[in-house]
Amino acid sequence: MKSVRARQSVDRISSLSDEILSMIISRVPIEEAVRTSVLAKRWRHTWKFATHLDFNPMQMLMSYRVLCQSINEPADDPEEDMDPSEEDIDPLEEDPSEEDLVRATRLITTILQSHWSDVTSCRILHMPINMTSGHVRAWIEYLIERKGVQELILTCEELPSFDSFCPEAMDLPLGIFRCGTLTVLELTNYMLFDVSPFRGCDNLRTLKMEYMELGHKVLPELISCCRLLEELSLSGCKLKEVEICSKNLRSLQLQSLSLEKIYICTEALAVMVFDKIGCQPNCILINAPRVVVFQTYCSSQNEEILELCSGILLRDEANPQYPESRLSYPEHLYWDRKAAVYCMSNSLRRVYIWGFGGKELEICFAKYLITRAQRLDRIAIQFDDNCTRDEATSSRSLLSVPRASMHVSIVFKPGSRYAEKFGNDFDNWVSTLLD
């Protein structure tokens, strides 16, 4: 009876349409997707129609034996096939050797060539040796020319213990992203000293770069090359300047950057995120008149450039009112003396501030937004975990200030560590704080 019930369960899954099975397979890592070929005859080729492929050499090596048999000799009856249990899988207790990487490289190539349908998105984590050997270029060219890939996520995993490791292995090849179908690209841990890899990447809409090293003037040239770019994210990248001039860019995220200069001039920018940005205030110029959502990170070290991190104010280099080192009036009056600009009065709708410490200038800044943003719908303020009870309590004064928008809601959120454990009840969090 138990065996009959098991067969009926398998039959119900196998009776699903090819489209649904493809959706299911596309949501799991490639090593798991390929291994489903041993489940039953109905599943033998299902993985070959997955629209998303996710390659992780480390995980693939863990299942090397099963993957090889699944690709080359799929079984009709699962009971006759190799038992894919932990005993049959070789776990890697140490960093992979170069021989291991050759095996993983061969697997990725075989799986790509065995796949039958188009690929909407693909994620590949690879090693520097795959760059120098030319395999990464071959994989990308295959995905672009044969699979019509639209979203591509590439991560170069450093393994400096290899004697053959060299920084040049992280350099992207010429024209590697030349593709008319590619609209989303995410890159992690590469070097980009010119825009040659992006020549012909005419339809790119979203670009995210993390832990990249960018050469001088590469960023403005890249934006000029990818004229349709709408979303840009830079996180933990090594570069000296952020210079952005774009008519189409709608979303910008800058995170964990140490910069000598920031120059942003964007007509269509609607969303801006600044998090942990190091740059001298007199080296920042922002002109984004249509921003409707911005997020920023508050800390005592960043109060000096809080205005510019908001992404909504234009700095005037010739304006002597801007504070360099001293003001001609008390510091707490700084925000009261600032006039609102066009985007704040007519466009700004949602604000999210995290790391709020309840310091005087931070409260004045939030008050500045509430009293001048006429179309503001919501301002959410998440407090820093190290905030004192007095600082959190004094921030409640923001609830009673006159509001430029009749519809704005002001939301206080507790520190992130408390929220993860106990929820977002602000009053309860305040009661736990020290004086």
Cβ–Cβ < 8 Å for 305, 281: yes
Residues 99-112, mean pLDDT to the nearest whole number: 83
The pLDDT of residue 90 is above 60:
no
C-alpha torsion angle, residues 306, 277, 290, 222 (rounded to 10) = 160
CA angle 270, 334, 371 (to 5 degrees): 50
Kindly tell me the sign of the dihedral angle through the C-alpha atoms of 362, 239, 221, 186: negative
Residue 71 lies in a domain: yes
Main-chain dihedrals φ then ψ at residue 380, nearest 5 degrees: -110, 130
The pLDDT of residue 85 is above 50:
no
Residue 364 lies in a domain: yes
Q: Which residue has the tokens 């008319």?
A: 180
pLDDT for position 47: 77
CA distance 279 to 262: 8
pLDDT for position 278: 85
pLDDT for position 285: 84
CA distance 251 to 262: 16
Residue 46 lies in a domain: yes
Mean pLDDT score of the chain: 77
Residue 76 lies in a domain: yes
Write out the two tokens for 83. 């038992």
Which is more confidently placed, 53 or 61? 53
pLDDT for position 76: 35
Instruction: Name the range with the highest mean pLDDT among 60-64, 107-111, 330-334, 342-346.
Output: 107-111
The pLDDT of residue 315 is above 80:
no
Confidence of residue 66 (pLDDT cuts 50, 70, 90): low
Confidence of residue 166 (pLDDT cuts 50, 70, 90): low
Q: What is the DSSP letter of 95?
A: P
Angle of helix 98-114 versus helix 135-147 axis, rounded to 10: 10
Among 117, 145, 174, the domain boundary falls at 117
pLDDT for position 321: 38
Residues 117-122, mean pLDDT to the nearest whole number: 90
Residue 184 lies in a domain: no
Which is more confidently placed, 158 or 340? 158
CA distance 294 to 351: 5
Residue 226 lies in a domain: no
pLDDT for position 5: 52
Main-chain dihedrals φ then ψ at residue 274, nearest 5 degrees: -120, 125
Among 54, 82, 117, the domain boundary falls at 117
Pick from 90-94, 229-233, 268-272: least confident: 90-94
Residue 217 lies in a domain: no
Model pLDDT for residues 318-374, shown as the tens digit of each residue:
333 333 333 444 555 556 656 556 666 677 888 888 888 888 888 888 888 898 888
pLDDT for position 410: 93
Model pLDDT for residues 3-25, shown as the tens digit of each residue:
555 555 555 666 677 677 777 77
Among 82, 117, 152, the domain boundary falls at 117
Model pLDDT for residues 360-418, shown as the tens digit of each residue:
888 888 888 898 888 889 999 999 998 899 999 999 999 999 998 888 999 999 998 99
Tell me the percentage of the chain whose pLDDT exceeds 90.
Answer: 32
pLDDT for position 202: 87
pLDDT for position 316: 37
pLDDT for position 14: 65
Which is more confidently placed, 402 or 316? 402
DSSP 136-203: HHHHHHHHHHHH---EEEEEE---TTSTT--GGGGBPPTTTT--SS--EEEEES-EESSSGGGTT-TT
Confidence of residue 222 (pLDDT cuts 50, 70, 90): very high
Residue in 277, 339, 276 with CA at minimum distance from that of residue 313: 339
Pick from 60-64, 87-91, 198-202, 307-311: least confident: 87-91
Pick from 5-19, 109-123, 177-191: least confident: 5-19
Residue in 302, 314, 366, 361 with CA at minimum distance from that of residue 339: 314
Give the SS3 label for residue 62: helix
Model pLDDT for residues 204-216, shown as the tens digit of each residue:
999 999 999 999 8
CA distance 345 to 331: 24
- Which residues, in sequence order, are CB contacts of 52 under 8 Å at separation 6+? 26, 27, 119, 120, 121, 122, 123
Instruction: Provide the residue range defining the domain that includes 44.
Output: 17-117
Q: In DSSP terms, which residues pair with 277 in a beta bridge?
A: 257
CA distance 117 to 146: 9
Which is more confidently placed, 299 or 426? 426
Tell me the helix, strand and coil percentages in the chain, rounded to 5: 40, 20, 40
Instruction: Name the range with the highest mean pLDDT among 7-16, 154-163, 247-256, 353-362.
Output: 247-256
Domain count for the chain, please give it: 2
Which is more confidently placed, 153 or 308? 153
Q: Is 59 exposed, middle or buried (0-12, 13-18, 19+ CB in 10 A)?
A: middle
Kindly tell me the sign of the dihedral angle through the C-alpha atoms of 173, 178, 181, 183: positive
